[in-house]
Structure 1
Amino acid sequence: MTAPRCTHTVTGWQDVPLYVPEYGNPDGIPVVLIHGWSQSHQSWTRQLSGPLAEHCRLIVPDLRGHGLSGKPDATEAYDNSAPWAGDLHAIIETLALKRPLLIGWSMGGWVVQDYLRVQGDKAISGFSLIGSSGSTGRYSPVEALERRENDSAVRATDMYGEELGANLVATVAFLKACFATPPDPDDLAIMTGFNMLCPPHVRLASRKRHEDYGPDLAKTSVPALVQWGVHERLAVSPMPEKTVEILPNGRAIKYAHSGHAPFWEETEAFNADLLAFAQSCYAKDRT
């Protein structure tokens, strides 16, 4: 994995320490890449070098409860918008990010929407939701919930448990469900390793949320993308389609050969799309 150009420790909501590595061009377009549930900043390995990194200042935090960031015990540290929005706000303010883009994968898309709910979009230039949606839990479309509930790997019940063997088996199955084409064994081993840094209580509190972000998305004025793979098993149709419909300035990009992680499975196309989006948002801001 590419080594970070520098790392920061940011004091997040209610003094939780956040590990925030930085990559890319320090004078480039500021882009915050926000990983998904039970993951870490290492999810973005394939974005941290090449043209995207040459043109962008990439801020790649470990979310609270994940990776090398602090892991409070309280359910209230994860089950509502305030902690996640407060952490993102702290990162933007501490690192003096001028109108960054917020790019959220899976649960990271919820974190972006938590920020929009609490802070609005005045301080950002655009955002993308990757394999994510504008609703969670009981607010999700019924047909999508049924598909997820019938997929045991996506349901991932044993990832909430303390029994290590069952937890590991469920974690590996969940990771495989994120891809249309399974990652090679070495990559899967690394992914499993950083997923296991997220404790069961964090996994449970952060995933079992019931949120309707529709009213928050409808208020946005900045450009937005909704990106997903055709072979998606987590943010299944019609979740992403309905999210695009809500956004006043939203646009969809679908990836024909990807599942839940197009940034990994179709890296070249994804990175080109993200760079073009960042440059268009930056040009719009300058105008």
Structure 2
Amino acid sequence: MTLKHLIGLVRALTVFVLMVGLASAANAVEKNYTVQSPDGVTIAVQEGGNPDGRPIVFIHGLLGSRLNWEEQTSSPQLQQYRLITYDLRGHGQSGKPDEVEAYRDGRRWADDLAVVLKASDAKKPVVVGWSLGGVVLSNYLAAYGDAMIGGIVYVDGVIELNAALIAPHPEVYAGLASDDLKTHLDAVRTFIALCFQTQPDPAIFERLLSNAAMASWVMTKTVPSMTVAVADSLPKTKVPVLLLYGGKDNLVMTGPSIARAQELNPSLQSKIYPDSGHAPFLEEAPRFNQDLSDFRNSIQARK
């Protein structure tokens, strides 16, 4: 090969790589918008990944935001999917009403998810709910059924707000509800630390603390009394459901929670990460992303 031909080949390859890179970047452009819940609360929604890919919707937990899912939304493996996140009411960039009933009535959280699904026009998404996100999922299923959903993943999900399923940390929860700033902030730090068996690096931990600082105090105080319609949802659910829990969860009782969910619906699948705490999607992100991808693809294969 002559030098001239070699230079031409290098230029052609360079153009090809640039075109592929631009195409990938175009697919990965984040889309941000808001929707209105029936009671007037503004819900902040974000999208990434492949806009033409099979959709996955992520619901974060108490004191979090869409940023909880960065190990998923930035994962090269998951970029093939349409990745949709949103900030729960009282969290992140979503509206933060001051009325207690805006948070106590579980149907309102269900309505938020319903308007996100409608506005995004996501076809048969897999919906992933972490911790408090599990309550949102259960309330959605009770109110709307599973006709618009392809599959469900409870990630260390709160099946019921039942003392038998929630690890006892009375001082922490009293601190979260405290009007004293120092007491509240100290409790927030302890609560975030309890989410992990293996603590994240300082930058991630600080971001999680910032997430928590943005959350509504009214919401934080009210959530423990939220209505949960799990008995009206899981027994009627026909789509595939995966219960994915950390074996060393310090906030939710893993064994009793899975047992309760499977008591309500024996067809539910379960998977335990023995070395993870309450946040396996962060503690063991590569494994979680692979399991999520496999679950998403298995549902497609059934259709």
Normalising by structure 1, we get a TM-score of 0.91
**1:174-189 map, 5 Å:** 174-189=191-206
CA deviation digits over 1:30-54, x for unaligned, max 9?
A: 1110000111110111101224432
Contact 2:195 2:279 in 1 (8 A): yes
2:240 is aligned to 223
Cα distance in 1, alignment partners of residues 78 and 287 from structure 2: 15
- Give the 5 Å matches for 1:27-66: 27-66=52-91
1:130-145 equivalences under 5 Å are 130-137=155-162, 140-141=163-164, 144-145=165-166
SS of 1:204's equivalent in the other structure is: helix
Displacement of 1:75 after TM fit? 1.2
Residue 244 (1) aligns with residue 244 (2): no
d(CA) in 2 for partners of 1:282, 1:168: 44
> In structure 2, do the counterparts of structure 1 residues 93 and 239 end up closer, same or farther at CA, with 3 Å as the change threshold?
same
Matched, 1:108 2:108: no
Given that 2:32 and 2:45 are in contact with CA atoms closer than 8 Å, whether structure 1 keeps it comes out as yes
Amino acid across the alignment from 2:212:
N
Identify the residue that residue 147 of structure 2 maps to in structure 1: 122
Per-residue CA deviation, residues 76-105 of structure 1 (Å, 9 max, x unaligned), is 111122211111110111111111111100
RMSD: 1.8
1:283 pairs with 2:301: yes
Task: Indicate the SS of the match to 2:226.
Answer: coil
Q: Does the CA contact (< 8 Å) of 2:36 and 2:115 recur in 1? A: yes
* Structure 2: gaps spanning 5 or more residues: 1-27
The structure number with the bigger radius of gyration is 2
Aligned partner letter, 2:280: P
Deviation for aligned residue 1:114: 0.8
Q: Counterpart of 1:192?
A: 209
Pairs aligned (count)? 276
**Match among 107, 112, 121 for residue 82 of structure 1:** 107
Structure 1 runs (4+) deviating above 6 angstroms are: none
Opposite residue 206 of structure 1, the aligned amino acid is V
3-state SS of paired residue (1:156): helix
- The Cα of 1:165 is off from its aligned counterpart by 1.5
Q: Alpha-carbon deviations, 1:199-250, whole Å to 9, x = none?
A: 2111111233353513310101000010110101111131223213422531
Contact 1:132 1:240 in 2 (8 A): no
Point out the more displaced range, 266-275 or 76-85. Answer: 76-85
Q: Cα–Cα, structure 1 residues 195 and 256, in superposed 2: closer, same or farther, change >3 Å? A: same
Query: In structure 2, what is the equivalent of residue 273 of structure 1?
Result: 291
Q: 2:223 corresponds to which residue?
A: 206
Superposed CA deviations along residues 97-144 of structure 1, whole A, max 9, x for unmatched, are 11111110000010011110100001110101111143213xx53xx4
- 1:92 and 2:117 matched: yes
Aligned: 1:8 with 2:33? yes
TM-score normalised to structure 2 length:
0.86
Q: Is the contact between residue 77 and residue 83 of structure 1 (CA under 8 Å) also seen in structure 2?
A: yes
